[in-house]
Amino acid sequence: MSKLIAILAGDGIGPEIVGEAVKVLNILKNNGLDIILEEAPMGGAAIDQTGVPLPDNTLNLCKKADAVLLGAVGGPKWDNLERAIRPEKGLLGLRSGLNLFANLRPALLYPALASASTLKSEVVENLDILIVRELTGDIYFGQPRGIRTLENGERQGFDTMHYCESEIERIARVAFESARRRNKKVCSVDKANVLDTSMLWREIVTKIGKEYPDVELSHQYVDNAAMQLVRAPKQFDVIVTGNLFGDILSDLASMLSGSIGMLPSASLDSNNKGMYEPIHGSAPDIAGQNKANPLATILSVAMMLRYSLQLPDLADKIETAVKSVLDQGLRTADIARSGEKVISTSEMGDAVVAALKM
Ligand code: NAD
């Protein structure tokens, strides 16, 4: 049966980079991949058309779809709207509406781009880490929270960190399953020396780990993990962690690879249905100029094929094509060193399509 893919281009560079990813999907389609692509407005574009960032029709399409490809949302045009109807609110609505609890963010560095990292080449060359971050629980959602006034008149801010066993179990399973497709190592990151939530986290991850005897499990405290990510990042394969620690560590890890324009992400529900998007925003400073790097979005398509459509061979093909264009020396402005020839968004998309050996 055909797989339905919802295409949400969004704002800023969104339509440009998604356009290149759609070129790749169409080539796969022409070569036998049974997919239907359906576009819908989202973010600022949806506000302009309908007054809200996530129209019901868009959410319904995404619920019906087997996977969602998103460009990016937001931009200065909508910055002064009230928070409830800002473009970013649409993103949160999509995540909660689709129950996307697992965020997968690879930090990988192609050898051809090793010099783009702020770390020494030998520390990051061939880096390939996957950060699995729990996305719907933790201190970001825990109640009670707020700012209260104490008896002495001083104000106090407070938040609640909590995780249920079932929440930890399901994210741990995503990490172990992902590790099985990779180098079979999971490092669980917590703060079990201080936090009760983390003590439970560690206990449950250890319990689930016993179901995966072929995957090596280790634990690190989050402060040490931050240090190790900068000191010797290649020791990691899959890192699994909660929402708060994952927010910080995934940004840290993504910067090891030098360019924001290279990194894809996936957010999955419990049936591996997912939303796939580049980690960067809508880059209003370069929007509409055919300058943006489309590779993060194209690599998001590879993740979609691997995780939601269960087609790892096709995912590998796209990743190999991206590696090949980089090896050929093709560079958009964000990954070019001074003096290197720069190509456009569409030229980069065309180069990936040309490198895809179908
Ligand atoms: P940004 O990621 O859009 O841009 C940061 C810098 O990186 C800019 O200089 C930009 O030109 C550059 N950049 C980003 N993507 C690039 C690409 N593919 N190729 C080349 N260069 C690229 O972050 P920002 O400027 O802080 O945010 C801009 C808007 O995007 C804001 O409205 C913000 O809310 C939104 N945003 C959306 C998402 C999302 O849709 N998931 C994520 C982050 C930010």
- Per residue in 66-102, pLDDT (tens digit) is 999 999 999 999 998 887 788 988 988 898 899 999 9
CA 71 to ligand 1 centroid distance, Å: 10
Whole-angstrom Cα distance, residue 315 to residue 318? 5
Q: Which residues of 155-180 are buried (b: 16+ CB within 10 A; e: fewer)?
A: eeeeeebebeeebbebbbbbbbebbe
Per-residue pLDDT band at 352 (split at 50, 70, 90): very high
Do residues 212 and 251 share a domain? yes
- The answer to whether residue 163 is catalytic is no
- The answer to whether residue 350 is catalytic is no
Token pair for residue 98? 């689709």
Do residues 354 and 256 share a domain? no
Q: Give me the helix-helix angle, 196-209 and 165-180, nearest 10°.
A: 50
Average pLDDT over residues 121-149: 91
Does the pLDDT value for residue 5 go beyond 80?
A: yes
Look at residue 78 in the predicted model and tell me its pLDDT. 94
Do residues 93 and 135 share a domain? no
Range of the domain at 87: 1-101+277-358
Q: Which residues of 12-21 are buried (b: 16+ CB within 10 A; e: fewer)?
A: bbbbbbbbbb
Does the pLDDT value for residue 223 go beyond 70?
A: yes
End-of-domain residue from the set 243, 268, 293: 268
Q: Which amino acid is at 103?
A: N
Do residues 156 and 21 share a domain? no
Do residues 302 and 331 share a domain? yes
CA 304 to ligand 1 centroid distance, Å: 21
Indicate which residue of 66, 163, 191, 317 is catalytic.
191
End-of-domain residue from the set 268, 291, 310: 268
Q: Which amino acid is at 114?
A: A
Q: How many CB atoms lie within 10 A of CB 88?
A: 15
Whole-angstrom Cα distance, residue 217 to residue 239? 10
How many structural domains is the chain composed of? 2
Do residues 264 and 132 share a domain? yes
Token pair for residue 142? 């825990």
Q: What is the pLDDT of residues 95-123, one digit of tens each?
A: 889 999 999 999 988 888 887 788 888 88
Q: What is the pLDDT of residues 281-319, one digit of tens each?
A: 999 999 999 999 999 999 999 999 999 999 999 999 999
Q: Which amino acid is at 309?
A: L
| Burial class of residue 347 in the structure, from the number of CB atoms within 10 Å of its CB (0-12 exposed, 13-18 middle, 19+ buried) | middle
Do residues 111 and 257 share a domain? yes
Average pLDDT over residues 250-266: 86
State the pTM of this model: 0.91
From first CA to last CA, the distance across the chain in angstroms is: 21
Do residues 92 and 134 share a domain? no
Q: What is the DSSP letter of 262?
A: G
Q: What is the DSSP letter of 222?
A: H
Whole-angstrom Cα distance, residue 279 to residue 295? 11
Do residues 83 and 118 share a domain? no
Q: What is the DSSP letter of 163?
A: -
- The answer to whether residue 247 is catalytic is yes
Q: Give me the helix-helix angle, 312-327 and 345-355, nearest 10°.
A: 120
Do residues 294 and 223 share a domain? no
Do residues 232 and 120 share a domain? yes
Q: What is the DSSP letter of 9?
A: E
Indicate which residue of 63, 77, 221, 251 is catalytic.
251
Whole-angstrom Cα distance, residue 260 to residue 281? 9
Q: What residues pair up with 240 in beta bridges, in sequence order?
A: 132, 188
Q: What residues pair up with 37 in beta bridges, in sequence order?
A: 5
Indicate which residue of 140, 221, 269, 350 is catalytic.
140
Mean pLDDT is lowest, of 20-24, 187-191, 250-254, for 250-254
Per-residue pLDDT band at 222 (split at 50, 70, 90): very high
Whole-angstrom Cα distance, residue 340 to residue 116? 13
CB 246 within 8 A of CB 131: yes
Mutate to test the pocket of ligand 1, among 91, 260, 299 (most ligand atoms within 8 A of CB): 260
Do residues 286 and 351 share a domain? yes
Whole-angstrom Cα distance, residue 113 to residue 128? 13
Is residue 217 classed as helix, strand or coil in its secondary structure? strand
CATH number at residue 344: 3.40.718.10
Q: Is 72 in the pocket of ligand 1 (CB under 6 A)?
A: yes
End-of-domain residue from the set 268, 285, 302: 268
